[in-house]
Amino acid sequence: MSSVMRILVVEDDVTTARIVASHLHPGYTVFIATCGHDALTLLAQQPHLLLLDLGLPDISGLELMARIKTMPRMAALPIVVMSADSDPALMARTLAAGACDYLVKPLSAQLLTERVQRALDDSRGSGPDR
């Protein structure tokens, strides 16, 4: 596996996306998409992890996640959802749809980095070498 981990941050608020990116390990390559369409295009970069906001302007985060899960090379991509919505039913639905974690905004830098590292560590033992 490549030593440089690639993370795709999908967040419609550019400021929030930049803050999230700034909290990630400096050795990661981070791509930012502000809508679902751009996220689908950036999947060509073969990210190792997707940080996904559910409230996107063009497609819901759940719909985007469903599309990604149908792509053979991306089906095992770990997806960590970031949302201001703390509704337990939405959290359960999101996890059942394939997210590996659900983080409620606002996020602390420590929680974000811990959960990103955990998702990356958990995914290293599964799926093809990307």
The model's pTM is 0.92
Distances (CA, A) of 115 to 7, 79, 101, 126: 13, 11, 8, 17
Tens-place pLDDT, residues 29-74: 999 999 999 999 999 999 999 999 999 999 999 999 999 999 999 9
49-53 and 6-10: which strand pairing?
parallel
Sign of the C-alpha dihedral, residues 118, 114, 19, 61? positive
At 124 the pLDDT is: 80
At 125 the pLDDT is: 65
At 130 the pLDDT is: 40
At 39 the pLDDT is: 98
Tens-place pLDDT, residues 84-129: 999 999 999 999 999 999 999 999 999 999 999 999 999 886 544 4
